[in-house]
Amino acid sequence: MAFRTRIKVCFGDIDNAGIVYYPRFMHYFHLAIEEFFAGGLGIDYADVLHKRNLALPTVHLESDFRRRLKFGDRIDMEVRVINIGSTSITWGYRGYLVDDEEDIVVEGHNVTVCVKNDTFEKIDVPEWLIQGLKTYMETLDKE
Amino acid sequence: MAFRTRIKVCFGDIDNAGIVYYPRFMHYFHLAIEEFFAGGLGIDYADVLHKRNLALPTVHLESDFRRRLKFGDRIDMEVRVINIGSTSITWGYRGYLVDDEEDIVVEGHNVTVCVKNDTFEKIDVPEWLIQGLKTYMETLDKE
Amino acid sequence: MAFRTRIKVCFGDIDNAGIVYYPRFMHYFHLAIEEFFAGGLGIDYADVLHKRNLALPTVHLESDFRRRLKFGDRIDMEVRVINIGSTSITWGYRGYLVDDEEDIVVEGHNVTVCVKNDTFEKIDVPEWLIQGLKTYMETLDKE
Amino acid sequence: MAFRTRIKVCFGDIDNAGIVYYPRFMHYFHLAIEEFFAGGLGIDYADVLHKRNLALPTVHLESDFRRRLKFGDRIDMEVRVINIGSTSITWGYRGYLVDDEEDIVVEGHNVTVCVKNDTFEKIDVPEWLIQGLKTYMETLDKE
């Protein structure tokens, strides 16, 4: 099964229509990536930035919002690696309502490019990251 | 010229890579919609929600991020009406760096559906909104 | 021991000085209250709002920030009940850096008043909440 | 009259009780400081951080919330300099509802310390900042 992390909708995520403010879903995507690095790759995302000098700014995003969320809802956000390019990685996300596997709340993907965190110079996807992602994906295939 | 609103990148919009946290761009899109209702249609967005009982949750989003933004940058965010469906509206956004018309920072569009704000029952795009959007678009065509 | 909840500093909490944007600490206080209701009182905070029709707007706040926090830091936020007035409750917060009990990151308290969530009419602290808070405090005393 | 900046309550500032999420008021305080540097002192706050290498983390905060705010409300946030210490500055804030000078929405003050933005080493309030603040305060006195 692909990596998943649990996210609770908090009081402050709610907007004036009484549901999750939709930019917060992108924040949930990012939280999931942070957890994926720690839990799926075994590399702290803060270390990616500050020790390995790699940042992953988003250059493209698509998302479908299938269900409105309310305060107190919990979702399991799944992270997948859709593509590893020469300088970019495409990440997929799928959020399931907890306790209801059939109920997809949000789906999306984004493309991030690799840049040096200090200079923002574009670089190739580092070898350590390619290896980490491939090992992770092979583990998934074996399951 | 299409409706534009100026947005300043504030200190708190910046993330740990030193640039605008990408979910904030979706917040900028929303700020632009709020200003568009007031400035382009002459209807306060709070009144749309609370007096006209209409909410516009987003069901689909696509966005391209062409340029990183830093604290203090200012963008002019343009709002366009791309399509008016039976129950949905497609909005387009284009953010230009202030003082550099050639420099597109972000582009995107989202699809919102019309629901009653109190019950979230799906409804047709209200006639007052269709008329407002059409009048706005005709004004643009004449320029 | 008083109720505690663990909070992880996320990428998006960081500001342009590279540390947690200080308004996020108030968000952490609120997250802790949300968890306190669920974990300390056994009442979901969403139900407090939407089933029991009670909201707890803050009217006064004081806080001391003793240590800067960075992305990836984790704190245990403690919630205490300092005072139960006729219409108000005073809550205390103390955030400890995880794995370092001596290291207090942030301390503060706020005063919330009880209002009906639908009308914002000021009301007395409800009996069910007084009882819940007292039972919680007695449990602490016995430890 | 002390420096003031106008802040509009946006859709995303609202919480699940239908009013401004109280940590957003601290964000408003910070927005006001950012505008104060640009408009009151003539120094861009981004330049303070990145050219003058000065950051101003908050070490103490007190605030009173006198009135709930809703989406669409506008406030004029006033910034005052309460005290200039050797390494700290105390800032005062007072938010007025626009078009109703009698209606104070929020009041507060915070103490910031001066540190180097790159190393977070504590430093004395820089001379250029003392001079700027004093000139600003003298201008106020003459009015």
Bridge partners, A84 (sequence order): A89
pLDDT, tens digit (0-9, with 9 covering 90-100), for A39-86: 999 999 999 999 999 999 999 999 999 999 999 999 999 999 999 999
Do A94 and A107 touch, CB atoms closer than 8 A?
A: yes
Q: Which two tokens stand for residue B24?
A: 């904030």
Residue C27 distance to chain B (closest CA, Å): 14
Q: Is D15 a catalytic residue?
A: yes
Say yes or no to pLDDT of B143 above 80.
Answer: no
In terms of C-beta density within 10 A (0-12 exposed, 13-18 middle, 19 or more buried), how is residue D115 classed?
buried
State the average pLDDT over residues A104-132. Answer: 97
Give Cα B49 distance to the centre of its chain: 16
Provide the 8-state DSSP code for D94.
E
Q: Kindly report the number of other CB atoms within 10 A of residue D100's CB atom.
A: 10
What pLDDT does residue C54 have? 98
Say yes or no to pLDDT of A33 above 90.
Answer: yes
Bridge partners, C20 (sequence order): C14
Per-residue confidence band for C115, with pLDDT thresholds at 50, 70 and 90: very high
- Cβ neighbours of D11 in B, within 8 Å: 30, 34, 45
Do D76 and D95 touch, CB atoms closer than 8 A?
A: yes
Say yes or no to pLDDT of B131 above 80.
Answer: yes
Say yes or no to pLDDT of C23 above 70.
Answer: yes
Q: Which two tokens stand for residue D79?
A: 């910034």
Average pLDDT, chain A: 95
Cβ of B22 and A30 within 8 Å? Answer: yes
How far is Cα C44 from Cα C51, in angstroms, rounded to an integer? 10
How far is Cα C20 from Cα A135, in angstroms, rounded to an integer? 33
Handedness of CA D25, D30, D31, D33 (dihedral sign): positive
Do C24 and C91 touch, CB atoms closer than 8 A?
A: no
Give the residue from C78, C82, C81, C80 showing the smallest Cα distance to C101.
C78
How far is Cα A99 from Cα B113, in angstroms, rounded to an integer? 27
Cβ of A11 and D18 within 8 Å? Answer: no
Work out the widest C-alpha separation in chain C, in whole angstroms: 45
Provide the 8-state DSSP code for C122.
B
Q: Does D51 touch chain C (CB under 8 A)?
A: no
pLDDT, tens digit (0-9, with 9 covering 90-100), for D37-51: 999 999 999 999 999
Write the residue in B15, B23, B71 that is nearest to C14 by C-beta. Answer: B15
How far is Cα B28 from Cα D139, in angstroms, rounded to an integer? 36
pLDDT, tens digit (0-9, with 9 covering 90-100), for D29-38: 999 999 999 9
Cβ of B30 and A23 within 8 Å? Answer: yes
Per-residue confidence band for A101, with pLDDT thresholds at 50, 70 and 90: confident
Give the residue from A111, A69, A110, A96 showing the smallest Cα distance to A4.
A96
Say yes or no to pLDDT of A142 above 80.
Answer: no
Q: Give, for C2, the enclosing helix (H) or strand (E).
A: none
pLDDT, tens digit (0-9, with 9 covering 90-100), for B120-129: 999 999 999 9
pLDDT, tens digit (0-9, with 9 covering 90-100), for D81-134: 999 999 999 999 999 999 877 889 999 999 999 999 999 999 999 999 999 999
Say yes or no to pLDDT of C41 above 70.
Answer: yes
Average pLDDT, chain B: 95
C-alpha dist (Å) from residue B12 to A120, C15, C19, C28, C59: 20, 5, 11, 16, 24
Neighbours of chain B (3+ CB pairs under 8 A): A, C, D
Say yes or no to pLDDT of B27 above 80.
Answer: yes
Report the first-to-last Cα separation within chain B, whole angstroms. Answer: 7
Say yes or no to pLDDT of A143 above 70.
Answer: no
Cβ of D34 and B10 within 8 Å? Answer: yes
What is the DSSP code string of A95-139? Answer: EEETT-TT-EEEEEEEEEE-EETTT--B-PPPHHHHHHHHHHHHH
Do A71 and C48 touch, CB atoms closer than 8 A?
A: no
Q: Kindly report the number of other CB atoms within 10 A of residue B76's CB atom.
A: 17
Do D37 and D79 touch, CB atoms closer than 8 A?
A: no
Say yes or no to pLDDT of D143 above 70.
Answer: no
At residue B26, what are phi and psi to the nearest 5 degrees? -65, -35
Q: Kindly report the number of other CB atoms within 10 A of residue D4's CB atom.
A: 19
Say yes or no to pLDDT of C143 above 70.
Answer: no
Neighbours of chain A (3+ CB pairs under 8 A): B, C, D
Number of inter-chain CB pairs under 8 A, B vs C: 21
ipTM of the assembly? Answer: 0.95
